[in-house]
Structure 1
């Protein structure tokens, strides 16, 4: 039978319609979740991590490269959990799955324990295993700080090989030096070490000095000390190294810590004719907690110290807050707020070597009042398994007031070293606004790229300008790029460079380039070799250029606004890290640093004339030496360490007076031991520093060598409660770190720490 044409088409459509409907039913309506699992401390990808969807039987395990995939998921919102032995379980909520699309997430698992030297985030601006870092790394953990009697933050570094801290009193750090890098000039001037708090710069805009009082000591998780030239990543301030203070992460359960202590100084030698009793006490409290995707940390402390001698007392109030919120599985935001106020005596030199605990009458009414505030907003995201980007905005503000005539009845006419005192007080106001943005990229199996920008704007007002800096504004823009290249399983090379442009608005500008080449060779599983070659620079601070009077030492200066940037033309290190058996590690490093235009201080006045100095550029200098660090664990009850640094620092300028560089310590030795017997813990540490051959402020008063011995005994009352007794400078050694500033003798401290 022959049907009309229209009827044929209708029959055909009716025949194929069921097949079309069946095919449409086979179109995928599910979505999938892909992601990666990382170690939050080292940044390494974690294989074989269990990942599952809460409330279902759906799950998987990460591959050897840390990647995982969950397919065939109906559209909706899911909660993912990742779990692995030795790590804290992590939960990601509100993970949205869309039809025919892939949702990307990232887990960052926090280790349940962290051994010293296991990880670092500072050496390459990303998390990595410390044994793979292309530089010498010193790590101080919270457990190590707890074992020692840390009253001020600078004391945490007394056992770190290669680090020398120079103080004029307990609250005044004159210099923090890594392998001799920094100068000793007061107020942080001449600092060549960058201080970071959770990756945020913490340096004074006017002097470049580290802001030690901004560190919340009781909330420190660990401190990383990276030694060597690091301008290729961090710019001007990192010419001599980087210190990064990492605060602890809030636990899942609420945690409150309360600490109190009281102590006193032993009697001064009778020959000093100083008989005053001086004590000190402190209280601190911290609280932290995680509530789902939100976590917070609050920390407050108060410290009072009479000082061990005249004009060395202080009161310090500190507050720190950190909050974090996980927007979803791969986006995070963190806000930190920090403030402190310190009211302290202005340090003053001794009356004489015999009367080393007393100062001149006209210095007894000199005081300092400093207020510092800091805010930091940090955002980072991992849009996929190969990319991470982050940005950080920060703000810093400081107001410092210096009083020279606090007691009108006290004649202060000699306070400023030249003629009649012209002012009774001075002040410094500073502000800094900055941004650091960075992109991390895994470019295949061999390359890990980092690119970033670093911008900051400074404002400094030092008044009156007859003795201080006056009004200045500065702007700095830096851009850096680094590639970490893997050549097989054993060899990793790092190539990087940074370009900086610095401008003191309307007065001065300069551009600097800082390259770096490094490699790490894993000779064996427990033995690695490393090499670092770099060039670095440091722009003179505003204080160095424009200073007319240094408040702490009462020294007059002739300004030198034409100072050139310091240049580290060759920084070289060759080192090795090895594990000996299961319980010992040895690190050895040789270093060589050659400087050009090194900034130092020259005395212009002649003998019997009022003291007058100027900040100048030396022509050339060399600092070289070697460093050894050894750590041993004995049966889990005893830990020992020893570190030694030899420093050969020389002025090699053509017009030099001699070969010596001022304030350089040739030999430093640190030894420590910690033992635990049930609830009782005992810590003993000793340090030695050799005699300083040359000083520039008071020639003829060079500090002698010093050997110090300290101990601390702790008893654990319960799981979170302990009491302790500490004795510092057991032998009551009489010594100076800075000429004519006698340091503390023997002291005793008792304290208690309570956990809730």
Structure 2
């Protein structure tokens, strides 16, 4: 493998040199079709990254800046919660302070979060907290559904969410905004940008302050305190670009953010203070060059770091009850090359790179580091304007787990202007995370404890000797050194245009996972709460269908709707029920215990079979008025296996199905320099104590002042 890595970059550069000598006539229709993918007015395109969403044959979604502004969204989770097939879920392992995304049944650990093509870090319990990211400086959000590991790497088994900040600056402008609402929520934004040297370079800066008092969605049990804690956060970002000439540019960006939360909690006994501090920083440097008319090269370095500290102190005696420190950082170096040969309807995209990841728990005996390396290549072939196909591979290596080759393929067929078909196939590979292997975490608000699989025996023995573990169950014998997870994803669908104003989309997906790392209860704590660890599940299948509809009634009034049907289950559970295995053989019903059947198995927890969305957007440009109405539905989903038979059955604890409605109105004044906004989230005020991060009705109002009117995108 070392020989292959050392040869790949010279091969790419040799390809670039050879293509520079190739003839340059664009004679065939297929070549002209490929050329339309380029941005003709600027060789640097609209994104730093050579990997773009247009190169995907998997289902994709682009959320525009206009949609974000009209909806009045403030944080990333607020944008994504209203999209078809995407569910926002709380991360109880982080004390309800974070929310993650679920995509086509994949939980947050399998969805890669990027900013301008570079990965974010800070997954304390596998979950990336979407509420950390403000959207004040976001130009658009790109979503890829399904395995994208062949281009994006091991964390993209379930999909990719790429947050694109403003890429091009054509004139000096600045804005300031302030919003205030329910739960004493305050959201303040400042941004400014300016080109210089006749647009050879630009610089842009932005900052955000966000504060909320939190809320309590569990008043029946939580006597004092909040299920969604109060916090204050700051974030700032700076971005710059310098164009040496029409072929070469240098881009740099840095983002820093911090959040602090402090509160008092009481469930009726042993009240305590809960303190959390976290900060993260992301920095990148990109050198991009149009090496020839047909070849583009990109070299980049990226650093990201995340640091968090949580302490829980008993009020009555000041004793430190819990302390969780975690630090993670990643250094990554990558070289990309894109080649578009003349006279051939082909595009090649390849790259090589390496990264170094380190994890540290200060005050503990855990200090880990892993190095990774990767190489990928994708080819795109356009037979005609009606047919396009892609195929590629990616090799990911890891110092702890070796490597794996992931393959991908896809096709797009457009027999007419009003009908197109799309299909994709992809593999994925994901090593276990630090938390799954080694971390010991106790959620003091819920009482449960999670121990990593690689040190379970040692740490469980220590806790049992300390008197905190009451019993370790027999299934703990299944805990072993974790295997990497692998997946195969298939997506297929069509798009139909009925007239010039209506579009229909429908598709089906299936994801087969091997060695899925599952969180499983393996014992009982002295306080009656659960003891968890991680166990590989041999076979998991998630399959379903998605459908969408868009109708532009007028240029200023648009409707859209979407639906997802999902079936997610562990095949081993189904087999065990059929085989009448001891733990899976019975089910406890209101009428007593009876033999179980496969129909009793509802599926994986926290997955709804039915999800839907509805959106209506209206604008009146002459009046400077706009309005947006959105609705989401999520069907019931399994929450807790109360009879300990190893799966969620129809008699366990479920979160009931619910619908949430949102409305927002905005008005521009003073020649579009002033924008007023009013919004109401969760109009019906729906809450559930099993959904600790779902607030009740929220009113938000605010204004934004544009010092220089922005150009239309």
TM-score above 0.5, yes or no? yes
CA deviation map 1:576-595 (0-9, x unaligned): 12333222222211001111
For residue 749 of structure 1, what is the aligned residue in structure 2? Answer: 700
User: How far 1:501 sits from its partner (Å)?
Assistant: 1.0
Measured in 2, the distance between the counterparts of 1:429 and 1:695 equals 31
Over the aligned positions, Cα root-mean-square deviation in angstroms equals 3.1
Q: Of the candidates 261, 277, 287, which is equivalent to residue 379 of structure 1?
A: 287
SS in 1 for 2:695: coil
SS in 1 for 2:289: strand
Tell me whether 1:181 sits opposite 2:106 in the alignment: yes
Measured in 2, the distance between the counterparts of 1:109 and 1:260 equals 32
User: How far 1:410 sits from its partner (Å)?
Assistant: 3.6
For residue 481 of structure 1, what is the aligned residue in structure 2? Answer: 377
Matches within 5 A, 1:219-230: 219-230=137-148
- Select between 612-621 and 248-257 the one with higher mean Cα deviation: 248-257
SS in 2 for 1:754: strand
User: Aligned pair in 2 of structure 1 residues 460, 607: CA closer, same or farther (>3 Å)?
Assistant: closer
Measured in 2, the distance between the counterparts of 1:64 and 1:475 equals 42
Contact 2:360 2:368 in 1 (8 A): yes
Measured in 2, the distance between the counterparts of 1:246 and 1:260 equals 23
Which consecutive unaligned segments of at least 5 residues does structure 1 have?
1-33, 36-44, 48-62, 68-83, 91-105, 111-119, 183-189, 265-277, 349-357, 414-420
Measured in 2, the distance between the counterparts of 1:521 and 1:511 equals 34
User: How far 1:396 sits from its partner (Å)?
Assistant: 1.3
Matches within 5 A, 1:36-435: 107-108=43-44, 125-126=51-52, 128=54, 133-167=56-90, 172-182=97-107, 191-204=109-122, 208-210=126-128, 212=130, 215-264=133-182, 278-291=183-196, 292-309=199-216, 310-311=225-226, 312-345=229-262, 359=267, 362=270, 364-405=272-313, 409-410=315-316, 424-435=322-333
Measured in 2, the distance between the counterparts of 1:89 and 1:485 equals 21
User: How far 1:696 sits from its partner (Å)?
Assistant: 5.8
Contact 1:286 1:297 in 2 (8 A): yes
Measured in 2, the distance between the counterparts of 1:726 and 1:502 equals 47
Contact 1:537 1:567 in 2 (8 A): yes
User: Aligned pair in 2 of structure 1 residues 88, 64: CA closer, same or farther (>3 Å)?
Assistant: closer
Contact 1:214 1:339 in 2 (8 A): no
SS in 1 for 2:161: strand
Which consecutive unaligned segments of at least 5 residues does structure 2 have?
1-19, 217-224, 455-480, 578-583, 585-600, 645-651, 708-713
User: How far 1:655 sits from its partner (Å)?
Assistant: 4.0
CA deviation map 1:382-401 (0-9, x unaligned): 12221011012011122211
Measured in 2, the distance between the counterparts of 1:168 and 1:513 equals 31
- What is the TM-score normalised by the length of structure 1? 0.75
- Select between 439-448 and 225-234 the one with higher mean Cα deviation: 439-448
Q: Of the candidates 658, 666, 671, which is equivalent to residue 614 of structure 2?
A: 671
Contact 1:603 1:696 in 2 (8 A): no
Measured in 2, the distance between the counterparts of 1:371 and 1:231 equals 28
- Between structure 1 and structure 2, the one with the greater Rg is 1
Measured in 2, the distance between the counterparts of 1:486 and 1:622 equals 33
Measured in 2, the distance between the counterparts of 1:121 and 1:626 equals 33
Measured in 1, the distance between the counterparts of 2:413 and 2:230 equals 50
Measured in 1, the distance between the counterparts of 2:431 and 2:329 equals 18
User: Aligned pair in 2 of structure 1 residues 697, 153: CA closer, same or farther (>3 Å)?
Assistant: farther
User: Aligned pair in 2 of structure 1 residues 64, 238: CA closer, same or farther (>3 Å)?
Assistant: closer
Tell me whether 1:706 sits opposite 2:658 in the alignment: yes
Contact 1:205 1:460 in 2 (8 A): no
Q: Of the candidates 490, 495, 498, which is equivalent to residue 386 of structure 2?
A: 490
Measured in 1, the distance between the counterparts of 2:258 and 2:208 equals 11
For residue 559 of structure 1, what is the aligned residue in structure 2? Answer: 452
Measured in 1, the distance between the counterparts of 2:532 and 2:420 equals 47
SS in 2 for 1:543: helix
For residue 5 of structure 2, what is the aligned residue in structure 1? Answer: none
Measured in 2, the distance between the counterparts of 1:701 and 1:330 equals 60
Contact 2:57 2:422 in 1 (8 A): yes
- Select between 247-256 and 707-716 the one with higher mean Cα deviation: 247-256
For residue 587 of structure 1, what is the aligned residue in structure 2? Answer: 505
CA deviation map 1:512-535 (0-9, x unaligned): 221111111111123211111122
SS in 2 for 1:702: strand
Measured in 2, the distance between the counterparts of 1:455 and 1:196 equals 17
User: Aligned pair in 2 of structure 1 residues 550, 484: CA closer, same or farther (>3 Å)?
Assistant: farther
Matches within 5 A, 1:583-662: 583-606=501-524, 609-653=528-572, 654-655=575-576, 657=584, 658=601, 660-662=603-605
Measured in 2, the distance between the counterparts of 1:458 and 1:202 equals 12
For residue 357 of structure 2, what is the aligned residue in structure 1? Answer: 458
Matches within 5 A, 1:708-727: 708-718=660-670, 719-727=672-680
- What is the TM-score normalised by the length of structure 2? 0.79
User: Aligned pair in 2 of structure 1 residues 515, 152: CA closer, same or farther (>3 Å)?
Assistant: same
User: Aligned pair in 2 of structure 1 residues 282, 126: CA closer, same or farther (>3 Å)?
Assistant: closer
Contact 1:232 1:516 in 2 (8 A): yes
- Select between 237-246 and 558-567 the one with higher mean Cα deviation: 558-567
Contact 1:528 1:577 in 2 (8 A): yes
Measured in 2, the distance between the counterparts of 1:598 and 1:391 equals 34
Measured in 1, the distance between the counterparts of 2:173 and 2:43 equals 24
SS in 2 for 1:324: strand
User: Aligned pair in 2 of structure 1 residues 482, 64: CA closer, same or farther (>3 Å)?
Assistant: closer
Aligned length: 605
For residue 56 of structure 1, what is the aligned residue in structure 2? Answer: none
Measured in 1, the distance between the counterparts of 2:117 and 2:442 equals 30
CA deviation map 1:309-329 (0-9, x unaligned): 233211010001110111111
User: Aligned pair in 2 of structure 1 residues 143, 411: CA closer, same or farther (>3 Å)?
Assistant: farther
